[in-house]
Protein backbone atom coordinates (compact mmCIF):
# COMPACT_ATOMS: atom_id res chain seq x y z
CA UNK A 1 0.00 0.00 0.00
CA UNK A 2 1.40 3.42 -0.89
CA UNK A 3 2.70 5.09 2.22
CA UNK A 4 0.43 7.51 4.05
CA UNK A 5 -2.67 6.63 2.04
CA UNK A 6 -5.78 5.99 3.99
CA UNK A 7 -8.57 4.27 2.20
CA UNK A 8 -11.70 6.42 2.07
CA UNK A 9 -15.05 5.10 3.23
CA UNK A 10 -16.45 4.59 -0.24
CA UNK A 11 -13.23 3.00 -1.45
CA UNK A 12 -13.50 0.60 1.44
CA UNK A 13 -17.07 -0.30 0.42
CA UNK A 14 -15.95 -0.97 -3.14
CA UNK A 15 -13.02 -3.13 -2.02
CA UNK A 16 -15.22 -5.07 0.39
CA UNK A 17 -17.84 -5.61 -2.29
CA UNK A 18 -15.20 -6.81 -4.75
CA UNK A 19 -13.74 -9.15 -2.17
CA UNK A 20 -17.14 -10.57 -1.37
CA UNK A 21 -18.16 -10.98 -5.03
CA UNK A 22 -14.87 -12.66 -6.04
CA UNK A 23 -14.88 -13.64 -9.70
CA UNK A 24 -18.25 -12.00 -10.32
CA UNK A 25 -17.12 -8.48 -9.34
CA UNK A 26 -17.83 -5.87 -12.00
CA UNK A 27 -19.61 -2.52 -12.19
CA UNK A 28 -23.19 -3.70 -11.85
CA UNK A 29 -22.66 -6.32 -9.16
CA UNK A 30 -20.46 -4.05 -7.02
CA UNK A 31 -22.99 -1.26 -7.18
CA UNK A 32 -25.89 -3.57 -6.27
CA UNK A 33 -23.94 -5.07 -3.37
CA UNK A 34 -23.26 -1.61 -1.91
CA UNK A 35 -26.82 -0.48 -2.49
CA UNK A 36 -28.19 -3.63 -0.84
CA UNK A 37 -25.94 -3.35 2.17
CA UNK A 38 -26.09 0.39 2.78
CA UNK A 39 -29.63 1.04 1.57
CA UNK A 40 -28.42 4.05 -0.39
CA UNK A 41 -28.59 4.52 -4.14
CA UNK A 42 -25.09 4.59 -5.63
CA UNK A 43 -24.18 6.34 -8.91
CA UNK A 44 -22.48 4.16 -11.47
CA UNK A 45 -20.05 6.99 -12.19
CA UNK A 46 -18.91 6.98 -8.58
CA UNK A 47 -18.14 3.25 -8.84
CA UNK A 48 -15.99 3.69 -11.95
CA UNK A 49 -14.26 6.80 -10.65
CA UNK A 50 -13.38 4.93 -7.45
CA UNK A 51 -12.23 1.86 -9.35
CA UNK A 52 -9.95 4.08 -11.43
CA UNK A 53 -8.47 5.56 -8.26
CA UNK A 54 -7.98 2.13 -6.70
CA UNK A 55 -6.25 0.91 -9.82
CA UNK A 56 -3.91 3.91 -9.74
CA UNK A 57 -3.06 3.00 -6.13
CA UNK A 58 -2.35 -0.55 -7.29
CA UNK A 59 -5.10 -2.08 -5.13
CA UNK A 60 -7.21 -3.58 -7.92
CA UNK A 61 -6.65 -4.84 -11.44
CA UNK A 62 -9.03 -5.51 -14.29
CA UNK A 63 -9.61 -8.16 -16.88
CA UNK A 64 -11.86 -7.63 -19.85
CA UNK A 65 -14.28 -10.43 -20.58
CA UNK A 66 -15.14 -11.59 -24.03
CA UNK A 67 -18.57 -10.42 -25.08
CA UNK A 68 -21.44 -12.62 -23.90
CA UNK A 69 -22.36 -15.11 -26.58
CA UNK A 70 -25.80 -13.63 -27.20
CA UNK A 71 -27.11 -10.99 -29.61
CA UNK A 72 -25.91 -7.57 -28.42
CA UNK A 73 -23.84 -9.19 -25.68
CA UNK A 74 -21.55 -6.80 -23.89
CA UNK A 75 -18.03 -7.25 -22.61
CA UNK A 76 -17.41 -6.64 -18.92
CA UNK A 77 -14.58 -5.19 -16.91
CA UNK A 78 -14.00 -7.62 -14.01
CA UNK A 79 -12.36 -6.38 -10.83
CA UNK A 80 -9.75 -8.32 -8.88
CA UNK A 81 -8.07 -7.35 -5.66
CA UNK A 82 -4.32 -7.35 -5.97
CA UNK A 83 -2.13 -8.62 -3.14
CA UNK A 84 -1.59 -5.02 -2.09
CA UNK A 85 -5.35 -4.51 -2.26
CA UNK A 86 -6.01 -7.45 0.06
CA UNK A 87 -3.34 -6.22 2.46
CA UNK A 88 -4.76 -2.71 2.44
CA UNK A 89 -8.24 -4.04 3.01
CA UNK A 90 -7.09 -6.11 6.02
CA UNK A 91 -5.16 -3.22 7.49
CA UNK A 92 -8.12 -0.88 7.11
CA UNK A 93 -10.73 -3.24 8.46
CA UNK A 94 -8.44 -4.25 11.33
CA UNK A 95 -7.89 -0.62 12.20
CA UNK A 96 -11.60 0.07 12.01
CA UNK A 97 -12.42 -2.90 14.22
CA UNK A 98 -9.89 -1.80 16.76
CA UNK A 99 -11.29 1.72 16.67
CA UNK A 100 -14.75 0.34 17.34
CA UNK A 101 -13.54 -2.08 20.06
CA UNK A 102 -11.05 0.39 21.46
CA UNK A 103 -8.34 -2.28 21.31
CA UNK A 104 -4.69 -1.15 21.15
CA UNK A 105 -2.85 -1.45 17.85
CA UNK A 106 -0.07 -4.03 17.50
CA UNK A 107 3.45 -2.58 17.75
CA UNK A 108 4.28 -2.80 14.02
CA UNK A 109 1.20 -0.77 13.16
CA UNK A 110 2.58 2.24 15.03
CA UNK A 111 5.95 2.21 13.34
CA UNK A 112 4.45 2.39 9.90
76 binds other proteins per the rule CB under 8 A:
yes
Q: Which of 8, 75, 96, 99 binds other proteins (CB under 8 A)?
A: 75
Instruction: Give the nearest distance from C-beta 9 to other proteins in angstroms.
Output: 14
Does residue number 31 form part of the binding site for other proteins (CB under 8 A)? yes
- 3-class SS at 57? coil
Report which of 40, 41, 60 is spatially closest to residue 50, judged by C-alpha positions: 60
**DSSP readout, 64-79?**
EPPPPSSTT----EEE
Rounded distance between C-alpha atoms, residue 28 and residue 31, angstroms = 5
Residue 99 as a binder of other proteins (CB under 8 A): the answer is no
4 binds other proteins (CB under 8 A): no
Residues 34-53, interacting with other proteins (CB under 8 A): 41, 43-46, 48-50, 52-53
Helix or strand run (H / E) with residue 110: helix 107-111
Contact residues: other proteins, CB under 8 A: 26-28, 31, 41, 43-46, 48-50, 52-53, 56, 64, 74-77
Amino acid sequence: MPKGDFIGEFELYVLLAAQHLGDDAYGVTIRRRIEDRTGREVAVGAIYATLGRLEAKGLVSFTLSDPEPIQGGRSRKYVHLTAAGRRALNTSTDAMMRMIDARPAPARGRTR
